[in-house]
Structure 1
Amino acid sequence: MEDPRGTIVQVDVSVNGIPIAIKIASSGYNVAFATTNDYVASQLKEYRPSLHRVPKSIFTKLFLEGRLTVTTDLESALALSKTILVTTHALGNEEEINMVINLFKQIAPHITPNSLLIYSGLTPPGTMEEIISVLDKYSRLNIGKDINVTLITPLDAQTETCIVCSPNFEAANIVKKFISAFVPSSAVRLHNTFREAEVANLLLIARRAIIKALSSYALLMFKQVDVNLKDALCLSECKAATAIEDDPLSEMVINYLVSEEGRLPRRLTLMRNIVRMRRMLLETIAARLKQEIKSASRKGKDLRVACILERESDKDLMNIILPKKGVRVHFYNIDEVESKVNAGIERVIPFGVNLIILAARSQSISEQTVRKLEEEAKFINLGYILSI
């Protein structure tokens, strides 16, 4: 079994795996992104800041140096390496789960002996057992001897803990060393039974979603009563959430857990409140904006708002929040803003704006851009960003 320092074959049938491929390649590995989906292959090659999440210069360099390649030929790709990383999630309806199982059926015949197969996806409990059964049937190799299978917390999940699960202690430690490029070693938890690890991964994602919803709402309320949030956060050792998000990963987990609530602890039904919390948050934002607009109108001025959107459909969200009168709205696309930040432009948002509203999932905007927007927010009238 080899340390995955050479080429890693990453298999995914969705665009969700693209940022992971970029992250791994940027960390010094050679990544061959293998997909059976022509659209996904084309998206990997076409640079978009919100999808690739690195400056274009780095993206171009990875391709020119051969650190990142893409292919739709699974058989040829799997011949390149003994390290295979599968990042498609097996969570959702029966069709989506079967799609992932079928993906492993396609992979199995082309896996070579002494390979390390890492699955970085969300799964209902028991799915890993089914995957191993498929590998055992279609690969004609000895699972545990010729193929070492490891389950890890999805690399695109921003959790405080990363689980590495494998019945093989040596394989688990090799994978731990591999992911140390993205996750602090102190955050890695080793385990040896798949069902527990599958449930733990779901809880990690669910916990993150609940905390984000509650903390964002609470912080907004505290802001209205003039609490010094910086001091409060420092005192409590908490971190401010940056978004109430329709994060596909969180949404996938929440939908699954709610549908399976009869089999899981009752406290997980608290996640039903997230939709209600989001609505309350929007109502609170709308009320705050009405106050600001009323104040601005007394001075005979319209409130100027800069809305930075991830998708065109987010404009509908702005219609919920923003009144139709007394507001002048300027819309910006995230890719447009990211490009300006990467180009080092001094002012990303016009100086005359009174408020910045960021409507984006946290994983769709770089930390560098968020910091830049926070800096610019210091120069505007309201002086902060509302993240939705």
Structure 2
Amino acid sequence: MTRIEVAPESLFGPENLPYGVFAPPGRPFRVGVRLGDCVIDLAVALDDSTFAATSLNPFLAQGSARWHEVRDRLLALAAADLPAAAVHSLAEVELKLPIEVGDYVDFYASLDHATNLGRLFRPDSEPLLPNWRHLPVGYHGRAGTVVVSGTDIVRPRGQRRTDSGTPDFGPSRRLDIEAELGFVVGAGSTLGQPIDIEDFGAHVFGVALVNDWSARDIQAWEYQPLGPFLGKSFATSLAAWITPLAALAAARIPLPAQTPEPLPYLRAEAPWGLDIDLTVHWDGTPVSYPPFARMYWSPAQMLTHLTANGAATRTGDLYASGTISGPEPDQRGSFIELSWGGTEPIRVNGQKRTFLEDGDEIVLTASAPGPGTRRIGLGEVRGRIWAARERDD
């Protein structure tokens, strides 16, 4: 038997316990939870074959009552001696994508981000389009290109508008990030039956950091009239650890005022957001501190609107908040905002930078209030840019 010792300053103490999928050296992937710098093998610790699966989906599909029952057992285990076979050093295991992603939806829920882009793209018009304050704007992304943190990102190729107004084809010259928070659906819903805004907790299991990489030049040429396509679909990075909503109880805060009042289906009895602070690291340099507390549309409103037309959800579905930005220049969650469209370079390790170059590494980290004075951490999202690949023609 062994007991996991957790440093007092750790962001991954027993009040956190995020879930992931890991493989000990020479053994198959399985479900575990992180405690300090260790991973607990749940199939062994709980003697439950559900957690011998290679994704979280079988556990998530069991529903919210089961999620809470397992968390109660884990809270007790975190303070007890565990079988040595159930404890693994985080440094020695391999991590993989923790969920089988069914569908992926990306929203545009930050008022500050939407306002910044409106001012950049439509300087002579109102920054927000007429529908923005009435519904959570979003689009369907590509689930098959959601990758786990640490996966290298190949610079995408596509059509880019030239100065003559006609396109050419080649690697993106304006490769960007989007610092976001993702929400993982555990219990799906029936086709034709919208999810009521008060039922959010029965369907969403937890949250994870997301970097929705964006090729701004490809996107700018292709997005009218149907919206994002190749400029977004080449890669979306997801953290290896899913933080359960139950760990974020102390991070709930009132939602900022919404004007005008949303339509009835988007009104909650006590609307709430999350007080989560992000940091964007560019080649090791912190360059931005986006605050999720500023988000205009709530996680529950996003899910309710996503299903308002009767669209079904499935276990493992992922939806993300869209870029998280604040009102201050150092709170912008994308480089198109930080560099103001490339006109105001950012200083990174003594160099002036605007968009991503080959070899750059981006790391997103985040923390939130936990019980008492403790804070809890979200699993990081890391990705390095590799040069575009030539076509086989």
TM-score bucket of the superposed structures, by smaller chain? under 0.3
Greater fraction helix: 1
- Say which structure, 1 or 2, has more relative contact order (CA 8 Å, 6+ apart): 2
Greater fraction strand: 2
Using structure 1 for the length normalisation, give the TM-score.
Answer: 0.25
If you compute each CA radius of gyration, which structure gives the higher value, 1 or 2?
A: 1
Using structure 2 for the length normalisation, give the TM-score.
Answer: 0.25
